[in-house]
Structures are given as structure tokens and as C-alpha cells.
Chain A
């Protein structure tokens, strides 16, 4: 186990609703990234948080937003859910931003289904 925990593990929402996913990073890790993994695809980068600030963002619309808290845990919020938002949402943590992807630890993800 990586020490990165995500909740809930599964979630069912209807189109137009809002959802909040949560992530606790591995102890001591101050950087959290979120990825979306559609069925049969590789993970796609959503955004990264470092010391409570958004440090970078992928090609996702503004209705995808996030937060990082002083204890480095993080939330991913998605507003106005669409059917295509159905995916596995992965949280990954690392120590610092300079490691460039090294020692990046993923959680088991939250499976979101939008009906």
C-alpha cells in the first residue's frame, strides 16, 4: 500500500450534480496531483497542488476545481457533472515538485459513475 487514501471508493451521481472527492496524501508529502482515468485509457492529468496552491493544470474545464489543506490533504470538486465525467479519479502524492514525477505514489482511486 502507498499510504495515499481516497474516499469514497465508489460514487454514483446524476448529470448536473456536483461531487467532491477526497484524498489524504502519504505522510510527509506536500504535493498532490489528480488524474482522471477513463475506461480503457491511461490516466490524464487534471491539476497539481503544492503547499495549498495550484501548481499546474491539465486540459480540463474550470468546473474541475481543487483544494489543498494545511495538512496536505486535498479535494477534487466537479460541478455540473456530465456523462463523460464517469471515470476513475486518482490522487497521487509526492514530496516536493522538483522530483519531476519520481517517487509519485497513487491511491486506489474513486470510481465515479454519472447517470
Chain B
């Protein structure tokens, strides 16, 4: 059973545009929500992460918005660049009792020039 649902499956954005990827979860025990970026032939690399005590976290062009009551979180990529073209995964974990990251199915992002 997929514990983290991610959408859309694929996304095409023009250079300079905003890319938005959404995730939803059910387990209220989850308390750490990372986003990973994966390029072809590489493993996932941590991009940015948030804990539910804040509603937003920004690092450069990447922002996580977190809605605890709706059990949803999203990744916004501002001023998207062709180099951002990759697959993005959201994930969640209950860090108090869990040891396994629960990943979404991924979003393939293509940023066109």
C-alpha cells in the first residue's frame, strides 16, 4: 500500500516557470518529509526536507509548503532551469519508530529551454 501519494506523474515546464509537485500522506505519525532529486543512472539525492512544526521551508529556488491538517505537502521550484530536469520523489518517515523512508512514485520533470 502506497503510504505517500505523489502527483503529477510527469510535468513539463518552460524555463523560468514554476514547477509544482504535490504529495499526500495518511499516517499522522510521519514527522519528517524529505524531497529527493534523481538523475538518470544516479541514486536519489536529498534536495530539501521539512518537519511538521513549520508550514514552509525555502532553500534557494526550492520551497516546501506543508499543510498538516490536510496531510499534504508540495515542492515548488521557482525559476525552473533545464538543469532541474530530473525525477523528484517525496518521502515520509516516522523518525521515532521507523527506519524506512516511504517514497512516492516520483514525478518526471522536464524543463524546456
* Interface-lining segment among B11-19, B37-45, B52-60: B37-45
Chain A 23-56: CB-based contact to B (< 8 A → 1; otherwise 0): 0000000000101000011111100100000011
Is B47 in contact with chain A by the CB < 8 A criterion?
no
* Interface-lining segment among A13-21, A67-75, A103-111: A103-111
Q: For residue A105, which residues in chain B have a CB less than 8 angstroms away from its CB?
A: 46
CA distance A57 to B44 in the complex (A): 20
Interface of chain B residues 87 through 113 with chain A (CB within 8 A): 89, 91, 93-96, 98-106
Q: For residue A35, which residues in chain B have a CB less than 8 angstroms away from its CB?
A: 101
Q: For residue B102, which residues in chain A have a CB less than 8 angstroms away from its CB?
A: 45
The answer, among B6, B89, B96, B99, for a CB contact under 8 Å with A56, is B99
Is B49 in contact with chain A by the CB < 8 A criterion?
yes
Interface of chain B residues 33 through 87 with chain A (CB within 8 A): 34, 36, 41-46, 49
CA distance A36 to B100 in the complex (A): 12
Separation in Å of the A86 CB from the closest CB of chain B? 16
Whether A101 and B43, one on each chain, are in contact in the complex, defined by CB atoms closer than 8 angstroms, is no
The residue of chain A having its C-beta at the shortest distance from the C-beta of B39 within the complex is: A108
The residue of chain B having its C-beta at the shortest distance from the C-beta of A45 within the complex is: B100
Residues of A within 8 A of B (CB): 2, 4, 33, 35, 40-45, 48, 55-56, 58, 90, 92, 97, 99-109
Which are the 10 A-B pairs with shortest beta-carbon distances?
Answer: A100-B95, A42-B103, A106-B43, A45-B100, A101-B93, A56-B99, A48-B99, A108-B43, A101-B101, A106-B44
